[in-house]
Chain A
Amino acid sequence: MPIAVDALQPWPDTVTWRPVSSKLITVELIGLAVWQVILVVGLGVGWLIGRQWGWLAGVAAVLLLGVWRATVAVRAVRAWGYAERDNDLMVRHGLLVRRLSIVPYARMQYVDVTAGPIERAFGLATVQLHTAAAGSDARVPGLPPEEASRLRDRLTALGEDRAEGL
């Protein structure tokens, strides 16, 4: 039997991971670009006023960081995944620090569906499952609206079904 040692692929034979929409890459990149523009404009204004090389160095650093984050964003979005098992929802994400959350449906307190402006423009939404524990971290971004509402309804239905709460 193959041994799963990939941090993002535990139990490959029993769990089917579903990816998030690849449109999330665009959303992330646009969000990144907005920040880049704000920072670069700010630093550029500083340079125009002060005429010091430090400002330009700052612009270069911001741009470099932006390029690096843009390359990472693609892989980071691919790293997101969720799986609905019989009794729990599993969510994995992260590249540098890899995280996997297992949240039993029975422990669900409430479900949030949110969509930011850029997410909405691309028809995406984020589903977040909350438990009574502050540390729980089950957030699935980049879901198409129908998938988001399906997941939400399924989670709430399963949660009601087995509600044990605390």
Chain B
Amino acid sequence: MSTTETPSASPSPERADAPERADRQRLHPLSPLLHGAKSLFVIVAALSWQTLRQLGPTHFAMVVLALAVGALIFSAVGWWNTGYQVVGRELRISDGLLWRRNRAIPLDRLQSVELRRPLLAQLTGLAELRLEVVGGSKAEAPLAYLTVREASALRERLLELSGRTPQGSAASGADPAAAAHTVTPQEHLLLSVSNRDLLISQLLTPQAFLLPVGVAWVITQFVMEGSWTFIGIASTVTAMAGVLLQPIRRVLRDWDFRLARAPGGRLLLRYGLTETRSQVVPLHRVQAVRITWPLLWRLTDWLYLQLDVAGYGAPERGNDTGSDRLLPVGDRDAARFLIGTVLPGVDLAALATTPPPSRVGWLHPFGLRFMGVGLHPDVLVTREGRLAREMTLVPYARLQSVRVVQGPLQRMLGVATVYADAAGGRSGVARDRDLAEAWALADELARRARQARQPVSPAPAGFVPPAGFAPPAGSAPLAGFVPPAGSVPPAGLAFPAGPVPPAGFVPPPAGGEPADDSYWQRPPQA
């Protein structure tokens, strides 16, 4: 850890100077045991109840034991060959016995760092450090396991190195050890979710309502067939548990959710019961925010927030293992406050959208009034969904590409869908916009994406958004994207491709007010 080579130096001298092997650190010696214990569960699950019936308990235990010992040896060998070290502004991880692999992770590409502590790790005082890097299909290089102290120190150090631009590091000197000391966690708690709310919210899910039905179905099934074998019941229950216990898993995962703000524009999220997670996301790494109002949560007027960080990969439906929670459950005020923190200057209450033209109504017999798109000073807002309403906020500065897609039905209706792709896997989707409007929207998005970046790129300090929750004066519905009513071609087409005056995109200054209400109110009947 004594490689105090100035991080601002070009990479080649660093590499030459770096003592290749000397500083390589090992993971904690208990890691193979923990890995072995983890694989025990996998082995048992893979063997399934069916095998237990065929082999009988004694043989089954022996098979499991043999496999577990094998897994243990395998992890021990893996542990012996795994090492990591921080060289300059890179984290290098080497692993593998037969296929040696040396990975250098450039820390300026670091998106977020997460400290996970599964149950066994909590009992042994260990933690797993997961880094999210762009381009990694999954969490790159989970360092499992380190002691909690080591892991937090390493995390601090990595974040410290990652936040520094070359200019900044040259100015502030290069002493990672000193830096690690100065960053004492003077975080201040922004929000915590009460476990009561979390429990109630997960009771208000379709799965929770289906659980009694499922149980009743299983019982009748067995009563009808009259075959009350332990194995039969156990395997049915296991199969059901996979689907129906999702709410319970969510409760366990999001237990004791706390969100704090650490110095240097970072968000600090902590949650979990059996597996605690503590995640640090630099605010400027947030690619998109999604707000969801599930159907049943309307009873209590709740919603949840998810945030996208590049490297999480595309979110899968029903996959709860990702760490994309920004707020597991909360009311409107909490969401408004959080969004104002994460995307400074964005006021959730003022995000109006306009629905697509009414002639696409027969494509979306129910959801039409809940779809919409709005261009706001800093973010693109898209909404859709009839039952579970969703709203996606993509800051223009994080737009990666803009796509316009028109299917055959859409061509008949003269509409097209505009996608605003962000790096986190979610896109802002403006469905079925009038074609002329879609072109104007795409052009405007490309222009705003460019403009949003311009003041940022030369800034040396790595874009630390200002603290506090104070939407600028002009953020209200003023610049809402207001296309003309009906299918009159919007004046937006007149926008040339080059740099245009930065005034908001308000084609006709007809009303100056959005054609739609705020996000939670029912939009007026078309």
Contacts and interface: CB of A to CB of B under 8 A. Distances in A.
Contacts of B457: 106, 162, 164
Contacts of A162: 457
Nearest to B414: A5
Given A85-B497, A135-B427, A107 B400 contact: yes
Nearest to A7: B406
A133 B135 CA distance: 9
A10 interface: yes
A7 B416 contact: yes
A98 interface: yes
Given A97-B407, A97-B408, A107 B401 contact: yes
Interface string B373-407: 00000000000000000000000001111111111
B450 A87 contact: yes
Contact of A135 (B408, B419, B496, B498): B419
A84 to B, nearest CB: 11
A99 B403 contact: yes
A11 B403 contact: no
A29 interface: no
Interface string A97-136: 1111111101101000000000000000000000111111
Given A100-B403, A138-B401, A164-B457, 16 more contacts: A3-B489, A5-B435, A7-B416, A85-B497, A96-B408, A97-B407, A100-B442, A102-B442, A102-B443, A104-B449, A109-B134, A131-B400, A131-B401, A131-B423, A133-B421, A133-B423
B263 interface: no
A132 B493 CA distance: 29
Interface string A138-166: 10000000000000000000000010111
Nearest to A131: B400
What 10 pairs between A and B have smallest CB-CB spacing?
A133-B400, A132-B423, A133-B421, A136-B401, A135-B421, A131-B400, A10-B439, A100-B404, A102-B402, A103-B401
Nearest to B425: A134
B446 A88 contact: yes
Interface of B: 111, 134-135, 285, 287, 310, 313-314, 398-408, 411, 414, 416, 419, 421-423, 425, 427, 435-436, 439, 442-443, 445-446, 449-450, 453, 456-457, 489, 493-494, 496-498
Contacts of B439: 4, 10-11
A5 B405 CA distance: 14
A11 B443 contact: yes
Contacts of B416: 7, 98
A73 B456 CA distance: 44
A48 interface: no
| Interface range on chain A (Cβ under 8 Å from partner) | 35 or more
A1 interface: yes
B421 A98 contact: no
Contacts of B423: 131-133, 166
Task: Summarize B's interface: helix, strand, loop or mixed.
Answer: mixed
Nearest to B456: A164
A102 B446 contact: yes
B435 A97 contact: no
Given A3-B493, A87-B450, A166-B423, A102 B401 contact: yes
A86 B398 contact: no
B403 A166 contact: no
Given A7-B416, A104-B450, A107-B400, A136 B407 contact: no
Contacts of A135: 400-401, 403, 419, 421, 425, 427
Contacts of A104: 399, 401, 446, 449-450
Contacts of B135: 109, 132
Nearest to A103: B401
Contacts of B496: 14
Contact of A166 (B310, B449, B498): B310
B269 to A, nearest CB: 20
Nearest to A5: B435
A15 interface: yes
B237 to A, nearest CB: 37
A148 to B, nearest CB: 20
A165 B422 CA distance: 11
Contacts of B494: 1
A97 B446 CA distance: 22
A139 B508 CA distance: 36
Contacts of A96: 407-408
A5 B435 CA distance: 6
17 contacts: A5-B414, A5-B436, A7-B406, A10-B439, A11-B439, A86-B498, A87-B450, A88-B450, A102-B402, A102-B446, A107-B401, A137-B401, A137-B403, A138-B401, A166-B285, A166-B287, A166-B423
A17 to B, nearest CB: 13
Nearest to B497: A14
A109 to B, nearest CB: 7
B493 A1 contact: yes
B142 to A, nearest CB: 21
Contacts of A106: 450, 453, 457
B483 to A, nearest CB: 14
A101 B497 contact: no
A80 B456 CA distance: 34
A134 B45 CA distance: 33
A3 to B, nearest CB: 5
B404 A136 contact: no
B176 to A, nearest CB: 24
B411 A7 contact: yes
A134 B450 contact: no
B448 to A, nearest CB: 11
B110 to A, nearest CB: 11
Contacts of B421: 131, 133-136
Nearest to A83: B497
B446 A133 contact: no
